Structure 1
Amino acid sequence: MNGGVNIWAITPEERSKHDRQFDSLTPTLGYVSGEQARRFFIQSGLPASVLAEIWTLADLTNDGRMDRLEFSIAMKLIKLQLQGQALPPALPDIMKQTPTPSILTSSARFGKPRLCAISASPKMEGSGI
């Protein structure tokens, strides 16, 4: 990507937002059902056929439910699709990685560089619609 930002990378900020949305669906044992996810994703206004493609890409284990990572991947793909980005033929590896800060930010109060905070969460497996 010529040193630029990879559009497929999920930022820590996006992951945090996705985690809040995931939690709002009251997951059971770390998963939301395919039906819970479908009802949430349909709110995007994307056609069911596009959401099915997104599900296929985000569904890492083909188990009919989604964990945090899979949900976040689906949300990122929905966002990109709404912005006019075509879906990839296969899930980019970068989407499966834990979000990491891409740049240093400066602390206005102290003028010292610092890394953006990242919430630590273990990678979980699961999915489905």
Structure 2
Amino acid sequence: MSINNTPETRAFLSVLEAMDGPATMADIRKRTSLNEDKRHYQFKKLEKAGIINVEYKEWGGTSTAPMKEAQLTESGEELLESGFLDEETSEFERANVDIVELAEEVRTYNEFLKNSVYEDVKTLTKRVADLEEQITK
């Protein structure tokens, strides 16, 4: 069964390709700007077309519904290998980065700046002030 090559479908499949394995509904949400209805539609459409298999995982969040997880089928892998994602993907695609990992990196750099660079700047600022005071005497 063939599927329409829409920006939404390319955005959805690009997450599966980038993750190189299963992707949950949460992964799709984090890595695309597809709204909930469009994400559910892509799960349904791609499963019906045989591009993905959908499993339902237990989830300890606030939702009572189990978390959907998509895994490319052999047909799905062949579709991606055929160049399906080569076209421009549009505004629905976000950078394929994990926001949690990115936030952790930002925290790490922030700590480094606070613990290392900030102290150096503070010391240098004091030295400049001392030198300026000596010059004006």
Interval containing the TM-score (normalised by the shorter chain)? under 0.3
- Which structure has the bigger radius of gyration? 2
TM value normalised by structure 2: 0.25
With a CA cutoff of 8 Å and minimum separation of 6, indicate the structure with the bigger relative contact order. Answer: 1
Name the TM-score, length of structure 1 as normaliser.
0.26
